[in-house]
Structure 1
């Protein structure tokens, strides 16, 4: 196996499955509620049962990968993820299904940070942003397609068939990881501690400021994305299949933007790409606010949000890979934790904003916040990262 040529495809496929699974419960929640004879509010606990351990274990798997080996941890996690995803299809009550979803969230948490750390190990800095952008693009295409995939399977089978199908899908990257296990790179640092790298990363100004930007990116970009489906349903009254189809514009542009980000960064600089990303995401929110009633312009806005996201996130992730070599897993876990945590905070704040001002106003508020984040990035991001690699 040519590691540099195939690693992105292999990790991207694992990321695709995990990110698709991340959102799969939303479109099938009514079916689960009806089948298990519970109200929709109780069924909604299944989303929390997944998201809470998914967020917490982001910061645990990174140090474990640094200590015991990245390929060892990610391979074990994908095997376990495949098994417990399949078990979800046999959940006979809310409790058992919630336990299986919690286990799914735990093992899914390993994939993104460890994949990014592996990319940081394999790709030199000048190639890294393009590699990260491609990986993130493939992964978030899974998120963009999750509603279409889940809704289609549930339509032809049932909600249990969705989990069974995802378990089968996840066999593909799992088998590929096992088949290429020997050729995958793996550095071990047995002296690595769980909390020590985090203390050093958060105590160093350049890394701390980058994590703040990742948190803000998660709040405002993921927070916006979380309610696009609701906006489409409210404005156009489409079913989940059509909603998911429209939202694939986000995923498609993350793939395209991921391929472009590295080349663009080499030509105009990472700071310019970060600026373009935040500006693009802000304009996307404003297009949805002012012109979202026009379907073509709505799709354009969703696509621009995907492009803005991948330009912004790939730049910040590339920067984060420079923070530590011996504790790169921890550095990337902290990025993933800030991003996913920010997304959760942004979604929660968005819920309150919608209750107070209405769904449409959320996009103009978050669009303005992204402009403020852009100006903040000029203050916080200055030059290359130095003096952190001893972490």
Structure 2
């Protein structure tokens, strides 16, 4: 799944890496089920807010606390799991958090009232958030740097499939069955995944770190590129996740129902899937900074199209452009994040992911007033204003990063 013949493969070095990556691909495909499940659970919340409010006889404003609690803990707990990952290993952490997600999902599915539902979803976000960053770290442990982006692209393809499946199906499940089914299915799947992950080999080959967390974080603070990338992830997350949230509400504000809006914006996931397949083929021969520029251009164009054309064709195009930007640009930053602190890859990657979600949350909250006032055109032009300079800075920085590729136990790349 992961590898076609490397276009740059003319040397014995690349032949060896191709053979190594092919073996790793065969044994780690089971890993992709986790990101699919995590994204299905995360993106299924929005279409369920109205059905939950109606069923529990509460207001929509009260139900939004369900999503808020989930998203806050989803972002905040990333760093904690990064520290744990470097101590107990990747696979054990994945299995334990899958069991936790199953329990929390069952609490959510059978919640008798809003308070229990909020607690269940908060707990779900608290544990299921470990899956994607830990999976990225597993891939980074397994693949040499020269091939890592193609492997991460496959991981993001699973993310795209999960996103699309949630967007397309959550509303339908709520309409024809019950909103509870949309929480029950991921819970049962998480329980099954915890069992099958027992066959996934561990990749933390070195002795797990016993260094106190404070000292470990202090050491990471002395790595300039890691500090830069973590801070940079905040505006990158705002550009990648924050403004995108309002594509579906734009359609609804212009007369479309929630089902149509969900189907149209669901093409974001289709674009992620298609874009990751392109990235796998061009990453070895195209400079990383050019991938950032091209993906960032697609994302910038996404918001310009949404501002100018809040129609079904316009928002469908914007959704596809946003997914393309995620696949091409974000996968490049994600790969970079796995290399700036190889000896503490779990916490280093988690810091980046946490900052991305923080930026997305801040942007969503910051422009929420414009959405409430129905001024979606200004909202998306602000998206353009944030995205364009962010991408320019990111592309220049990636071009200036001259760290030597290192394995999981090697020295950190230096700027």
**Which whole-Å CA distance do the structure 2 matches of 1:384 and 1:319 have between them?**
11
Structure 1 length as normaliser, TM-score?
0.92
**Which whole-Å CA distance do the structure 2 matches of 1:357 and 1:31 have between them?**
23
**Which whole-Å CA distance do the structure 2 matches of 1:168 and 1:322 have between them?**
35
Residue 58 in structure 1 maps to residue 78 in structure 2: yes
Residue 278 in structure 1 maps to residue 280 in structure 2: no
Residue 217 in structure 1 maps to residue 241 in structure 2: no
Alignment of structure 1 residues 342-353 onto 2, 5 Å? 342-353=359-370
1:271–1:389 distance in 2 versus 1, CA, 3 Å: closer
Q: CA deviation at 1:369?
A: 1.8
**Which whole-Å CA distance do the structure 1 matches of 2:71 and 2:153 have between them?**
24
| Residue of structure 1 equivalent to 2:412 | 388
**Which whole-Å CA distance do the structure 1 matches of 2:215 and 2:270 have between them?**
38
| Residue of structure 1 equivalent to 2:179 | 159
| Residue of structure 2 equivalent to 1:47 | 67
| Residue of structure 2 equivalent to 1:31 | 51
Alignment of structure 1 residues 162-201 onto 2, 5 Å? 162-178=182-198, 180-181=199-200, 183-187=201-205, 188-201=207-220
Write the deviation string for residues 203-256 of structure 1: whole angstroms up to 9, x where unpaired: 32222222233221110221121001101212241233x222212211111112
**Which whole-Å CA distance do the structure 1 matches of 2:249 and 2:314 have between them?**
17
Q: CA deviation at 1:176?
A: 2.3
| Residue of structure 2 equivalent to 1:114 | 134
Residue 99 in structure 1 maps to residue 119 in structure 2: yes
Q: CA deviation at 1:366?
A: 0.7
**Which whole-Å CA distance do the structure 2 matches of 1:125 and 1:389 have between them?**
11
1:239–1:126 distance in 2 versus 1, CA, 3 Å: same
Structure 1: 5+ residue stretches without partners: none
Alignment of structure 1 residues 286-365 onto 2, 5 Å? 286-293=304-311, 295-355=312-372, 358-365=375-382
Q: CA deviation at 1:85?
A: 0.6
**Which whole-Å CA distance do the structure 2 matches of 1:248 and 1:39 have between them?**
26
* SS of residue paired to 1:266: coil
**Which whole-Å CA distance do the structure 2 matches of 1:273 and 1:362 have between them?**
26
* SS of residue paired to 1:203: coil
Count of aligned pairs: 385
Q: CA deviation at 1:357?
A: 7.5
Kept in 1: contact 2:289–2:396 (CA 8 A)? no
**Which whole-Å CA distance do the structure 1 matches of 2:61 and 2:215 have between them?**
40
Q: CA deviation at 1:109?
A: 1.6
Q: CA deviation at 1:7?
A: 5.5
Kept in 1: contact 2:303–2:381 (CA 8 A)? yes
> Which has the larger displacement, 45-54 or 106-115?
45-54
Write the deviation string for residues 236-294 of structure 1: whole angstroms up to 9, x where unpaired: 41233x2222122111111121222243221121111011111111011111222343x
Kept in 2: contact 1:67–1:192 (CA 8 A)? no
RMSD of the TM alignment (CA)? 2.1
**Which whole-Å CA distance do the structure 2 matches of 1:212 and 1:7 have between them?**
35
**Which whole-Å CA distance do the structure 2 matches of 1:388 and 1:378 have between them?**
21
Kept in 1: contact 2:337–2:348 (CA 8 A)? yes
> Which has the larger displacement, 71-80 or 152-161?
152-161
Q: CA deviation at 1:202?
A: 3.4
Alignment of structure 1 residues 73-84 onto 2, 5 Å? 73-84=93-104
| Residue of structure 2 equivalent to 1:71 | 91
Structure 2: 5+ residue stretches without partners: 1-21, 405-410
Kept in 2: contact 1:145–1:245 (CA 8 A)? no
Kept in 1: contact 2:47–2:262 (CA 8 A)? no
Kept in 1: contact 2:307–2:381 (CA 8 A)? yes
1:280–1:106 distance in 2 versus 1, CA, 3 Å: same
Write the deviation string for residues 277-334 of structure 1: whole angstroms up to 9, x where unpaired: 11111011111222343x3343222111111122111111111111222311001110
